[in-house]
Amino acid sequence: MPKLLLHILLAITVCVAPFCLKPPRCQAQPKWDDRDVDRSISQALVYLAKKQHPDGAWAIDSIGQSTAATSLAIMAFLAAGHTPGEGPYGQQIEKGIRWVIDHQEPNGLLIHKTSHGPMYSHGISTLMLAEVVGMVGVKDADRTRRALEKAIRLILEAQSIPKNERHQGGWRYRPSDRDSDLSVTGWQLLALRAAKDIGCDVPAESIDKAVEYVKMCATKGHKGFGYQPGSGPTPTRSGTGILCLEVCGVHKSPEAVGGANYLLKTPLKFRDSYFYYGVYYCSVGMFKLGGEHWEQSRDHLFPILLSKQQADGSWPSDHASEKRQGRVYTTSMAVLALAIEYRYLPIYQR
């Protein structure tokens, strides 16, 4: 081969090679990084701090002050690494905890206005108390522990209400209901598991019964979870089922892995009903499962959340399914999802 032709071919190879070595599209880096997440969470907490009422409560738009909204806001601050009585939000967190406890009814129910059944608010607030009981100062420690124990007793009593086989082990809107659904069950089971982890008297058989109910909500062939046994799967319910099983130590069960595979094929979308509810459960559930299930889910959901955050640090609540809840709710749920990899909340530990 003539030397001139050889030199021309080598020059073409050198010039073209860098373009040929570009990584395939599937290996492209996500359009966000940890600094984006940190900044987003910080802005959201500023928004939430401004929305706290003078007496310590946070509100749901449609009903006003709420134990559920207050507890979700508190957990958002905890998830970002803030603790009661310390740092820039310490006093606000303390006031919120005291407000929730002040609104516990004699039977243990943690409720102050709800747009859904009282067990939603109760489960959320009980989970908050279980997460925070080891963080509060001496002044609040005994009172917080007593409130948590009363709240746990009510959850256990509600589970023991006689139900037919299709509903055994779960919970519904009211403590006396004789049916169950996965949505309400999710909050109660997370609360029980968190309370058991910090030494509360939670019988193992209560956890086991709840786990069996969650498994019954898995669809035939383990292709996601439905609202009740026999219901079709949705992304939100599938996230709930995965998290319930994973947090209870039923790691990588066929039901959870099947639900995770369903989520990868049918990921949660911003316009889906109950998106923020779903983004919490799907994010934490897939994080607990780990591996590529978490990585793919994170790289799908985090950019959505980051792109939808408003200039004031909040997230919009304009979808009909969550519009009545308002931006304290949507912002708290978004923070709880984005802060997972901080691992400050005990429930996030693997």
Query: Per the domain annotation, does 12 fall within a domain?
Result: no
Calpha distance 263→45 (Å, rounded)? 29
* Gyration radius from the chain CA atoms: 23
Side-chain-side CA neighbours of 109 within 13 Å: the count stands at: 17
232-235-237 Cα angle (round to 5):
65
What tens digit of pLDDT does each residue of 262-285 get?
999 999 999 999 999 999 999 999
Average model confidence (pLDDT) across the chain:
91
59-60/64-65 β-pairing:
antiparallel
Assigned token pair, 195: 């309370």
Mean pLDDT of 174-189: 97
For 171, the domain range is: 31-348
**CB neighbourhood size of 29 (10 A):** 8
Closest by CA position to 347, among listed 44, 78, 3, 39:
78
Query: Per the domain annotation, does 317 fall within a domain?
Result: yes
**b/e string for 142-172 if b means 16 or more Cβ within 10 A?**
eebbebbebbbebbeebbebebeeebbbbbb
Side-chain-side CA neighbours of 232 within 13 Å: the count stands at: 1
For a pLDDT cut of 70, what percent of the chain falls above it?
91
Calpha distance 23→245 (Å, rounded)? 37
Query: Per the domain annotation, does 10 fall within a domain?
Result: no
Query: Per the domain annotation, does 3 fall within a domain?
Result: no
Calpha distance 125→75 (Å, rounded)? 10
Residue 9 has pLDDT above 60, yes or no: no
Confirm if 239 and 286 have CB atoms less than 8 A apart. Answer: yes
Calpha distance 256→343 (Å, rounded)? 21
What is the pLDDT, as a whole number, of residue 7?
45
Helix, strand, or coil (residue 96): helix
Residue 350 has pLDDT above 90, yes or no: no
CATH number of the CATH domain containing 107: 1.50.10.20
Assigned token pair, 207: 């956890």
Side-chain-side CA neighbours of 319 within 13 Å: the count stands at: 15
What is the pLDDT, as a whole number, of residue 115?
63
What is the pLDDT, as a whole number, of residue 195?
97
Query: Per the domain annotation, does 20 fall within a domain?
Result: no
What tens digit of pLDDT does each residue of 86-132 get?
999 999 999 999 999 999 999 999 998 776 789 999 999 999 999 99
Query: Per the domain annotation, does 167 fall within a domain?
Result: yes
Calpha distance 239→237 (Å, rounded)? 5
Confirm if 70 and 57 have CB atoms less than 8 A apart. Answer: yes
* CA trace torsion 45, 50, 54, 59 (10° rounding): -80
Mean pLDDT of 213-236: 96
Query: Per the domain annotation, does 16 fall within a domain?
Result: no
Q: What is the pTM of this model?
A: 0.90
Q: Which amino acid is at 305?
A: L
Q: Look at 71 and 116; give whichever has higher pLDDT.
A: 71
Confidence of residue 26 (pLDDT cuts 50, 70, 90): very low
Residue 23 has pLDDT above 80, yes or no: no
Calpha distance 184→118 (Å, rounded)? 10
Q: Work out how many domains the chain is built from and give that number.
A: 1
Calpha distance 180→166 (Å, rounded)? 8
Query: Per the domain annotation, does 26 fall within a domain?
Result: no
Mean pLDDT of 64-77: 97
Q: What is the dihedral sign for C-alpha 156, 158, 160, 163?
A: negative
Q: What is the dihedral sign for C-alpha 347, 348, 349, 350?
A: positive
Confirm if 241 and 259 have CB atoms less than 8 A apart. Answer: yes
Q: Look at 16 and 329; give whichever has higher pLDDT.
A: 329
